[in-house]
Structure formats: C-alpha cells, structure tokens
C-alpha cells in the first residue's frame, strides 16, 4: 500500500501586517492563512523538483526534522490543506478535488516528441507524457479529478503517482472540486 501526501490549495504569497505575517493559500473560494511552520510543511508536501520517487508523509517529516521545523502535518490535514491518499483506493479523494494548471503549456519538440513541457516561455519546468499533458491542460474544465481522468481515459492511480512532478515546480495545484462543470 502506497499512501502519498498532497498539498491542497494555491499559494498567493506572504501577507504582512504591522504585527505579523501570514502565508496565504487559496483553498476553493476561501483564503487560508498559514504560519511559517504550517507553510513549510505545506510547501514540502509539493515534493522536490529533483526527486521523482513517491512523496509520502515520512519523507516530509524527515525534511521538517532535518531543518528543525515543528511538524504541523496533522493540523494541515484537519484544515484540509493536506491530504493523504492511498493509491489502492483514490476515488474518494479524486471526487473531492480537482487539478488546476498554473503554467504555460509548451508542447513537445522535434528533439523529444514524446515529452510535453510546461513552464514559462523562457524556461520549461517539467515534462510529461502526452496523456498527462492532455489531462493537465483541460482538467480544470471538469468538476473533479475523478471525472477528468475518466474523460481522458487515464488511470487515476498512475496520475496521482506522477503528480508531484507537476506540483513541485508549481506547474499545477490541487484544489477543491466544484459542484458543476465550468463553462
């Protein structure tokens, strides 16, 4: 059984007041404020850009411990900012969340026709298969990730297994599902 840890929401940056600062993350239609410790754990749950192995809770805890950052994973799970997903039964998670693309689609190249890239016009940040690229490009049009995978005829567990490659460079984010299809 593989259980992966995923961040939910889209970072909006840090908001400073005269007394404090808070890291703002959009979760659905709400903006949630995270402490430094919570934001560190939430950020690490995205994965590392140079590490494509399964991203599980223990790996995030190890990194937090190594950097002497208090573990706030349980608080973030309670707030709905993190989710643990068993790849053997991911349907409930996928029905409650959706995938949103955040970077430009750059397509493939003659030199690497089977890899489709995303990033900025100056810098491709990640690459994926054609099937994953199609899902990534249009998943925001589906009310949830489960329906998006069915519409694109891709395996949900395989998508979740490769999703940190999109999350770590912020090419995509996971958000709450919508109740109806978007126009």
Indicate whether 101 and 72 sit together in one domain: no
> What is the pLDDT, as a whole number, of residue 56?
94
Q: Is residue 14 part of a domain?
A: yes
Indicate whether 52 and 123 sit together in one domain: no
17 pLDDT higher than 50 = yes
Indicate whether 85 and 118 sit together in one domain: no
Strands 82-86, 116-119: pairing kind: unpaired
Indicate whether 154 and 115 sit together in one domain: yes
- Our CA dihedral for 92, 94, 98, 101, rounded to 10 degrees, sits at 160
> What is the pLDDT, as a whole number, of residue 49?
84
Band (pLDDT 50/70/90 cuts) for residue 180 is: low
Q: Which of 43, 66, 89 is the last residue of a domain?
A: 89
Domain, as residue range, for 42: 3-89
Q: Is residue 181 part of a domain?
A: no
- Our CA dihedral for 61, 71, 156, 126, rounded to 10 degrees, sits at -70
What is the chain's mean pLDDT, rounded? Answer: 94
Local structure of 33: helix, strand or coil: strand
Chain segment 48-84, per-residue pLDDT in tens: 988 878 899 999 999 999 999 999 999 999 999 999 9
Q: Which of 42, 57, 89 is the last residue of a domain?
A: 89
Indicate whether 150 and 165 sit together in one domain: yes
Least confident of 51-60, 80-89, 109-118, 149-158: 51-60
What's the CATH number where 79 sits? 3.90.930
In sequence order, what are the beta bridge partners of 16? 21
Indicate whether 45 and 78 sit together in one domain: yes
Q: What is the share, in percent, of the chain residues with pLDDT greater than 70?
A: 97
> What is the pLDDT, as a whole number, of residue 182?
47
The domain tally of the chain equals 2
Indicate whether 79 and 110 sit together in one domain: no
Q: Which of 70, 89, 108 is the last residue of a domain?
A: 89
Predicted model pTM: 0.93
Give Rg (Cα) of the chain: 16
Indicate whether 108 and 73 sit together in one domain: no
């Amino acid at each position: 059984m593989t259980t992966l840890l995923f961040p939910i929401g889209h970072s909006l940056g840090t908001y400073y007041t005269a007394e404090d600062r808070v890291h703002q993350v959009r979760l659905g239609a709400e903006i949630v404020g995270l402490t430094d410790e919570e934001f560190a754990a939430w950020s690490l749950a995205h994965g590392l850009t140079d590490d494509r192995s399964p991203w599980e809770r223990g790996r995030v805890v190890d990194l937090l411990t190594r950097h002497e950052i208090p573990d706030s994973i349980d608080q973030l799970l309670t707030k709905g900012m993190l989710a643990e997903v068993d790849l053997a039964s991911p349907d409930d998670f996928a029905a409650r969340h959706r995938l949103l693309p955040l970077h430009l689609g750059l397509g493939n190249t003659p030199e690497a026709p089977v890899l489709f890239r995303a990033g900025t016009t100056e810098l491709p940040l990640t690459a994926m298969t054609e099937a994953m690229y199609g899902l990534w490009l249009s998943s925001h049009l589906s009310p949830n990730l489960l329906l998006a995978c069915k519409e694109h005829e891709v395996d949900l567990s395989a998508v979740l297994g490769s999703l940190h490659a999109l999350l770590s460079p912020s090419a995509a984010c996971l958000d709450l599902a919508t109740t109806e299809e978007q126009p």
